[in-house]
Structure 1
Amino acid sequence: MKKNVLIVGAGGVAQVVAHKCAQHNDILGNIHIASRTVEKCQQIVDSVQEKGSLKVAGELQAHALDALDIAATKALIEQTQSRIVINVGSAFINMSVLQACIETGAAYMDTAIHEEPEKICETPPWYANYEWKRKELCAEKGVTAILGAGFDPGVVNAYAAIAVNEYFDSVSDIDIIDINAGSHGRYFATNFDPEINFREFTGTVWSWQNREWVSKSMFEVKRTDDLPVVGAQTSYMTGHDELHSLSKNLDVPNIRFWMGFGEHYINVFTVLKNLGLLSEQPVTTAEGLEVVPLKVVKAVLPDPSSLAPTYSGKTCIGDVVKGKKDGKDKEVFIYNVADHAEAYAEVGSQGISYTAGVPPVAAALLIATGEWDVNKMVNIEELDPKPFINLLNDMGLPTRIRDEQGDRALSF
């Protein structure tokens, strides 16, 4: 059994991860939180202690770490005797943290594809540009590396695998829909790192259609769905991480990702983009200062973790899957609904962070108990999704399914 967890990152998602690890520290062991700013890590430690989240007595410590420094990350893994590393820091550090895990033998997981600061929306399949280049090395070293273990990517990959394996003879379409029907009460803010948020939407929108990669522009294609709890919602076709692995690992000709945006977000985004303020390329001011416009925008926007106390409303994220069963057309919607206020009451974070932070802890538990300790690199859809879904049901992210038999809880 693998024990002792190192959490890399100190944002809203890391806070959820820390609380959930603490709630299961009888299995996961000691918990360490590391980030460039140790004060943020200590704030998370304090939050866990204040809410009494630790299930049993155990270590809970904050550390300063530049996760781009592979040697320093290796040293911290060894110092803390961590056998599981949950990377919920910036996507820019993925490859460094992954390499440190390979060299120490610790299990690795993240919640997004690696990114390079000067590149946006890379050629698909994006994983092949970075993480998948370490596949052979992980297998050679016997290192478990689970990629994209958040909600999307992550849980929606498990939903896709369940649909393909359990409910259809053949699948023609998977449409992943991500709706945040909540309100944070600010003039404008993003629900996670503004830099990463905007980078997702300023480049090419890639989708998998007729077994080929198709490019579109942001906000070019939209749809409206009548969804459980949140009602009628409009979403836009968007490029997203899970498409890059699902298109490879599942025999499905059409896989698309859709995200909900309000008119206000679209208007502000459009103005910022047209002014050049979402550019990742540096510019020089009249005073001779070199700045990256996107980083300036990030600096002036609210920290996403600061939105949690007043956030209200719900999220609805799931997979609409279409295909054939016994020669007949069939459609299912496998989904989760999360509540912002309930998330804040439990762990002090808003619902977006909650949906992203609970799944990697469920994955860590499955590594610790051996069910997902596969000694190689995988994406979520390559693993048995049933124990994952059952754990999420118990940990605050219950799965439901809507089909011709109605809307009901889903468990195995």
Structure 2
Amino acid sequence: MKSNVLIIGAGGVAHVVAHKCAQNNALLGDIHIASRTPGKCQAIIESVHTRGSLQRPGVLRAHALDAMDVAATEALIRATEARIVINVGSAFLNMSVLQACLRTGAAYVDTAIHEEPDRICETPPWYANHEWKRREACAAAGVTAILGAGFDPGVVNAYARLACDDYFDRVDSIDIVDINAGRHDRYFATNFDPEVNFREFTGTVWSWQGRQWTASRMFEYRKEWDLPVVGRQTAYLTGHDELHSLSQHLDVPDIRFWMGFSEHYINVFTVLRNLGMLSEQPVRTAEGQEVVPLKVLKAVLPDPASLAPAYTGKTCIGNVVRGERDGKERRIFIYNICDHEKSYREIGSQAISYTAGVPAAAAALLIARGIWDVRRMVNVEQLPPRPFLALMAGMGLKTWVRENGRDVPLAAQAAPADA
């Protein structure tokens, strides 16, 4: 059994992870939060205390850390005696933090695919370029490394596994649909790290179609979806982390990712891209200073965590799965609805951060209980999905299944005898 958690990062998702770990500290033990800005870590700790999130009295401590420094991260893991490291910092940190976990034997959890600062939209399957190169090392060291344990990637991977195992004899397609039907009071803002957000959408859109990688442009393909609670929504074919693992681990010919964008977002995005403000490559100013336009843009846009107090509306994220069962065609939608205002009332978060942070904390709990402590590197679809989804339902993210116009909570559906 694992105990003591080190959370790396101090943004909106780290805020959620800290609250949810605190609500379960009887099992998880001491909770430590580390980032380059310890003041942000301390603010999260104060929020946990103010909202009474601690399940029982315990250690909750902030630390200064540059997680790109493997030796420093290793030293902090050892000093805190952390047995589970939850990496919810920048995606640039993944390989450094993973290496520190390999040196210490601590379990590793992240919520996004690794990125290199000077490259975007790498050749698929992207995981093979970085994380999967450490598979053998994790297995040799007996280190549990769970990749992409947010919502998308993460929960949608579990939905895909569940559909393949329990609902279909053959799956023909999986369309992951991510809609934020919420509203905030800012002229323009991203719902998570602006640098990461824009990097997702400025390169080639890769999708898995006909059992091969298919390239397209951002906003080239759009589709309307009729969804529970949020109604009819327009979404665009987009590349995303989970496609890079699901395509390799599931026998499904078509796997696509669709994300909703408002016309306002698309207009602002287009202007910024045309001006060169979304570039990850450095430029030199007239004064001789070297700057990265995307980092400058990040510095002037609102902090995503600051959106929470005024956010209203709901998110709807899930998988439209088509295939065959018992010789008949079948179509289901496995999904979650999350409320921005409810998330804020509970822990001071907006729903985008909430949906990413709760699954990461749930993964840590499953490692601590031994259910997901597999002592090797895995993506979420390689793990049993029902314990994960059942745990999250009790932590604030309930799963529903829509079929033939009827919506039923997953918890109300009995698992097959061999599940």
TM-score range, shorter chain: over 0.9
Question: Paired residue for 1:88?
Answer: 88
- Count of aligned pairs: 412
Question: Paired residue for 1:269?
Answer: 269
Task: Give per-residue Cα distances to partners, 1:289-338, cap 9 Å, x unaligned.
Answer: 11111011111100000000000000000000000111111000000000
Question: Paired residue for 1:322?
Answer: 322
Structure 1 residue 308 corresponds to structure 2 residue 314: no
Question: Quick one: distance in 2 between partners of 1:331 and 1:26?
Answer: 41
Question: Paired residue for 1:102?
Answer: 102
Question: Quick one: distance in 2 between partners of 1:188 and 1:41?
Answer: 26
Match for 1:399: what amino acid? Answer: T
Structure 1 residue 168 corresponds to structure 2 residue 155: no
Structure 1 portions without partners, runs of 5+: none
What's the TM-score, normalizing by structure 2?
Answer: 0.98
Structure 2 portions without partners, runs of 5+: none
Superposition deviation, residue 286 in structure 1: 1.1
Match for 2:94: what amino acid? Answer: N
Question: Quick one: distance in 2 between partners of 1:283 and 1:36?
Answer: 25
SS in 2 for 1:255: strand
Task: Give per-residue Cα distances to partners, 1:50-104, cap 9 Å, x unaligned.
Answer: 1110001110000000000000000000000000000000000000000000110
Task: Give per-residue Cα distances to partners, 1:342-377, cap 9 Å, x unaligned.
Answer: 111111110000000000111111100100000000
Question: Quick one: distance in 2 between partners of 1:368 and 1:162?
Answer: 22
Structure 1 residue 78 corresponds to structure 2 residue 96: no
SS in 1 for 2:67: coil
Structure 1 residue 201 corresponds to structure 2 residue 201: yes
Question: Quick one: distance in 2 between partners of 1:237 and 1:11?
Answer: 27
Superposition deviation, residue 404 in structure 1: 2.9
Structure 1 residue 389 corresponds to structure 2 residue 389: yes
Identity of aligned residues (%): 71
1:205-284 matches, cutoff 5 A? 205-284=205-284
Question: Paired residue for 2:139?
Answer: 139
Question: Paired residue for 2:403?
Answer: 403
Task: Give per-residue Cα distances to partners, 1:25-59, cap 9 Å, x unaligned.
Answer: 00111100000000000000000011110001110
Superposition deviation, residue 256 in structure 1: 0.2
SS in 2 for 1:242: helix
Question: Quick one: distance in 1 between partners of 2:404 and 2:187?
Answer: 41
Question: Paired residue for 2:333?
Answer: 333
Question: Quick one: distance in 2 between partners of 1:51 and 1:74?
Answer: 31
Superposition deviation, residue 405 in structure 1: 7.3
What's the TM-score, normalizing by structure 1?
Answer: 0.99
Q: Which moved more, 1:396-405 or 1:146-155?
A: 396-405
Question: Quick one: distance in 2 between partners of 1:178 and 1:165?
Answer: 23
SS in 1 for 2:241: coil
Task: Give per-residue Cα distances to partners, 1:231-266, cap 9 Å, x unaligned.
Answer: 000000000000000000000000000000000000
Match for 2:402: what amino acid? Answer: R
Question: Quick one: distance in 2 between partners of 1:43 and 1:185?
Answer: 23
Question: Paired residue for 1:190?
Answer: 190
Question: Paired residue for 1:296?
Answer: 296
Question: Quick one: distance in 2 between partners of 1:388 and 1:93?
Answer: 25
Match for 1:74: what amino acid? Answer: E
Task: Give per-residue Cα distances to partners, 1:181-238, cap 9 Å, x unaligned.
Answer: 0001110000000000000000000000000000000000010011000000000000
Structure 1 residue 154 corresponds to structure 2 residue 131: no
Task: Give per-residue Cα distances to partners, 1:98-133, cap 9 Å, x unaligned.
Answer: 000011000001000000000000000000000000
SS in 2 for 1:103: helix
Superposition deviation, residue 288 in structure 1: 1.1
Question: Quick one: distance in 2 between partners of 1:184 and 1:196?
Answer: 20
> Structure 1: which 4+ aligned runs deviate by more than 6 Å?
none
